[in-house]
Each structure stands twice: as C-alpha cells, then as structure tokens.
C-alpha cells in the first residue's frame, strides 16, 4: 500500500495540482462533461424547438443567450452543442490513437522495411494539411457526426504514429524489454503489455491537446457547412448561421464562439500542465 501512495501517477497528480492554470482547465473540462451528460436537465428548451414569434431576441431573462433566426433558444443549443463537440473530440482522438498508436508501435518495435513503409505512408498523409484532409474525407463520405469523427480522426493518425514510434524506439533497448524477449514472450504481448504502458506520458499530453485540435477541426467543418446535419446543434455551424446576422444580432455568434474558445483554452491549459507534470525535466 505504501508503495502505491508514492507511485508515479500520484506524483504526477501532486505536480499537476500545484499548477493553478492546469487545475482551472481541468475544472472547466469536468464541468463541460457534466453539462454534456446532463444537458436534458440543464437546457430549458429542446434544441430544435422553433418559436418564430420569439425569433432573434437579444439575451433576456427567458432566453439567457437570446434566440436565433428560427426562435430557438441559443443557451439550449450551446448546452447541447457540448455533447457533439466532446463526442467528436474524444472519439476522433481515440480513432487516431488506436490506429496511429498501433502503426507507431509496430514500426518502432519491428523496424526494418516495415518501419520504412509505414512511416513513409505517414509522411504522405502529413503532406496533406490536416484540415484539408478532413475536408476531403468528409467531401467523399458525406457529412454527419460519424463521418466527421472519422475524418478528423484519420487526419491526426500520423502524429500519434510518430510519437508512439519515437517512444518505442527509445524503450525497446531497455532491460525489461530484453528480459521479456529472453523468456520468450510473444511480440504482440511485449508491445501491448510492456511497451505501450510505458509510452503513456507523451500520449496523454498529445491526446489532451489532440482533443482540443479535433474539436476545432470539427467546428471548422461545421462552419463551412460540412459538419453535423441540422437541426442538431454544433458550435461551428451555429457560428456560421449567426454570421449572416452579425450586424444586428452579434449574440448569435458570441456564445457559441465563447463556448469553443473556453473549451479549447481549458484543454490547452490542462495539456500544458500535464506536459510539465509528466516530464519534470522540461520544467526548470
């Protein structure tokens, strides 16, 4: 028991706790996750409920964030929008991590021509700027939540492949891997049981920042009309709808814009904090 209390993760948590901005980021993210889970109880209206008599109202006591051109409550739509954003962020990063991580682990551990081929494939994907790759995948597959998650996920596969490969390369010469090999452990088991757990630190940092990037990318797709289908609320699409009313009703863009920025900022604060906490060498 004593050993557990001073285990590496406890240490990381203690270091993270001292970073006020990172803790703030963490609190905001936990809050956002709760909002997404309990959206049904928090939102005063349903997100698709139209009320043309109440269209384009500025923020007031009934409609806290005002209403849009269809008379839908913007507060409700921002609350439900958190579901879409967090879902896209988490699932697309999981896709990228799973595929990219596997590719990186195999490339790094096996080496040789397999490494060369896999990493050249990653270079090819990296040559297409991420946003553009996501746009072309959505253009091919069509919009919708699932396709957006796939598109954004595929776009970030190479960065995870590179990170995991680099970690595995530095680990595979270490004694505990040699030992596992010497007792005849299967390659797949060495990768899964011994290498991957030890590459966690950079992966956690990259994933936190990656969720932020994925949410931004999905919002960008929504903004150019390639995202989730209406009437499901998505912050980027809400911004796009609101920009046509910017002269007279800026509240339509202010709140979804703030929601995106606060989410991304919190994830970045947490990601930065985690980086410092997980790699004390980087911090002087």
Which is closer to other proteins, CB of 102 or CB of 253? 253
CA 51 – CA 53 distance, rounded (Å)? 5
Of the candidates 199, 202, 203, 207, the one whose C-alpha atom is nearest the C-alpha of residue 108 is 199
Burial 95-121 (b: 16+ CB within 10 A, else e): bbbebbbbbbbbbbbeeeeebeebbee
Which is closer to other proteins, CB of 12 or CB of 269? 269
State in angstroms the smallest separation of the CB of 17 from other proteins. 19
Which is closer to other proteins, CB of 161 or CB of 190? 161
Which is closer to other proteins, CB of 101 or CB of 236? 236
State in angstroms the smallest separation of the CB of 225 from other proteins. 7
Which is closer to other proteins, CB of 58 or CB of 186? 58
* Tokens 């954004």, residue located: 152
**Is the CB of residue 81 less than 8 Å from the CB of residue 265?**
no
State in angstroms the smallest separation of the CB of 192 from other proteins. 29
**Is the CB of residue 259 less than 8 Å from the CB of residue 234?**
no
State in angstroms the smallest separation of the CB of 278 from other proteins. 16
Which is closer to other proteins, CB of 126 or CB of 201? 126
State in angstroms the smallest separation of the CB of 221 from other proteins. 10
Beta bridge partners of 73: 67
Of the candidates 59, 55, 54, 56, the one whose C-alpha atom is nearest the C-alpha of residue 75 is 59
Residues of this chain that bind other proteins (CB under 8 A) = 120-121, 123-125, 127-133, 135-137, 139-142, 212, 216, 219-220, 223-226, 236, 239-240, 242-243, 246-247, 250, 253, 257, 260-261, 264-265, 268-269, 272, 284
Beta bridge partners of 67: 73
State in angstroms the smallest separation of the CB of 117 from other proteins. 11
């Amino acid at each position: 028991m004593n050993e557990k209390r001073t285990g590496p993760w406890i240490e990381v948590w203690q270091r993270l706790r001292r970073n006020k901005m990172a803790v703030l980021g963490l609190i905001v993210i936990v809050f956002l996750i709760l909002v997404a889970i309990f959206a049904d109880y928090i939102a005063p209206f349903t997100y698709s409920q139209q009320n043309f008599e109440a269209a384009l109202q500025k923020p007031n006591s009934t409609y806290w964030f005002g209403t849009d051109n269809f008379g839908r409550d913007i507060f409700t739509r921002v609350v439900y929008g958190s579901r879409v954003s967090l879902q896209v962020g988490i699932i697309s990063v999981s896709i990228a991590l799973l595929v990219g991580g596997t590719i990186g682990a195999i490339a790094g551990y096996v080496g040789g021509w397999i490494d060369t081929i896999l990493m050249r494939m990653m270079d090819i994907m990296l040559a297409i700027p991420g946003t553009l790759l996501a746009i072309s995948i959505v253009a091919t597959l069509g919009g919708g939540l699932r396709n957006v998650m796939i598109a954004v996920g595929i776009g970030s596969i190479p960065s995870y492949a590179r990170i995991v490969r680099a970690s595995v390369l530095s680990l595979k010469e270490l004694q505990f891997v040699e030992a596992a090999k010497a007792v005849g452990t299967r390659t797949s088991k060495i990768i899964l049981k011994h290498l991957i757990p030890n590459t966690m630190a950079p992966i956690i940092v990259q994933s936190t920042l990656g969720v932020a990037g994925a949410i931004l990318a999905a919002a960008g797709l929504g903004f150019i009309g390639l995202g989730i289908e209406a009437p499901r609320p998505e912050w980027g699409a809400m911004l796009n709808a609101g920009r046509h009313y910017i002269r007279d009703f800026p509240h339509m863009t202010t709140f979804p814009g703030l929601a995106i920025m606060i989410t991304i900022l919190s994830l970045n604060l947490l990601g930065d904090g985690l980086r410092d906490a997980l790699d004390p060498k980087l911090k002087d």
